[in-house]
Amino acid sequence: MSRARSEREAGGMSVIEVSELRKSYGGRTVVDGVSFAVEEGEIFGILGPNGAGKTTTVECVEGLRVPDAGRVRVAGLDPVADHGKLALVLGAQLQESRLQAKLTVREALELYAACYPNPADWRPLAERLGLSGRLDTRFARLSGGQKQRLFIALALVGRPGIVVLDELTTGLDPHARRTTWELIEDVRDSGVTVLLVTHFMEEAQRLCDRIAVIDQGRVAALDTPAGLVGRSAGATVISFTPSAPLDESRLAALPGVASIAWKDGRVTLAGTDGTVDAVITLLARGHITAHQLRVSDATLNDAFLDLTGADR
């Protein structure tokens, strides 16, 4: 169990508070009454479809946007009025960032470190993120993944107590993504609070202690990853290829069935643990064999689709 989880069970302290946040652009409401609190030492995730208001929400937390209404506090500071003080306690990796084209990786790390009274040693950070061999490479010559890793290092070099990571591993290959996950887990375990915006379900399920799902500018759900999965209309997934034709209406009548899908003769049902027993009984009575029977738990992706209708 992580230190963050242990502390939260004992009663954590909120270091980010967002209450009834609203923001509009050109008459279009992007964030419509978003509220949540992030506790000290946890990784708090924000999930949502494209255009749901995720980035606008975190930009208000970072003080990069001025809310139209609502209240935001980060470590007790107003992100807009106290932006100078906030910069000393909050690190940020933005969804889109750029540096001067001729700046080298080494120069960028040294420059950012010089802005803080007690910076981290950027060398092991660069090593951990696979940048040691690129220290003399100019920004313009870095690949997209290398730029992403550099911005993560720059977000952490000031030893922030809170760090905001917007699309943390976009552009990274699978190995670099997992290495970055391990780094973020170490950062959290050192006591840093992480606010993570992501569209990778595996990333959210692995890293996040709690998740706010934002849809159409509002919080659709807020829970642990396991709690969100448990809310899924079909918490258990059963799939098989029947040895003989199977009446779909009889499947639909089984207890707990939330959905039925057919593909290439294979049927997949979302339901409950009770649905599994009912399916097996139905097949036995019909003398039908379930070839390649698979039973698995629903995933965070299933819960996300249920909550947001993101496949609509």
C-beta of residue 42 within 8 angstroms of C-beta of residue 188: yes
User: In the predicted model, what is the mean pLDDT of residues 132-143?
Assistant: 95
At 162 the pLDDT is: 96
pLDDT, greater one: 4 or 83: 83
SS3 content of the chain, % helix, strand, coil (to 5): 35, 30, 35
Confidence at 270, pLDDT banded by 50, 70, 90: confident
The two three-digit tokens of residue 76, written as one number: 């007790």
In the chain, where does the domain assigned CATH 3.40.50.300 lie? 14-223
At 7 the pLDDT is: 44
Q: How far is CA 55 from the centre of its chain?
A: 12
C-beta of residue 220 within 8 angstroms of C-beta of residue 53: no
User: In the predicted model, what is the mean pLDDT of residues 115-144?
Assistant: 93
Residue 127: which residues within 8 A CB-CB, separation 6 or more? none
The two three-digit tokens of residue 200, written as one number: 């990778």
Architecture of domain 230-308: 2-Layer Sandwich (3.30)
- C-alpha span between 297 and 250 (Å, rounded): 23
Residue 199: which residues within 8 A CB-CB, separation 6 or more? 47, 50, 167
User: What value does the mean pLDDT of the chain take?
Assistant: 89
- C-alpha span between 177 and 272 (Å, rounded): 33
The two three-digit tokens of residue 176, written as one number: 């670099």
SS3 call for 109: helix
- C-alpha span between 184 and 205 (Å, rounded): 14
SS3 call for 32: strand
At 8 the pLDDT is: 45
User: In the predicted model, what is the mean pLDDT of residues 48-70?
Assistant: 94
SS3 call for 54: helix
In the chain, where does the domain assigned CATH 3.30.70.980 lie? 230-308
- What CATH number should be reported for the domain whose range is 14-223? 3.40.50.300
At 234 the pLDDT is: 61
Whether residue 10 is predicted with pLDDT greater than 80 in this model: the reply is no
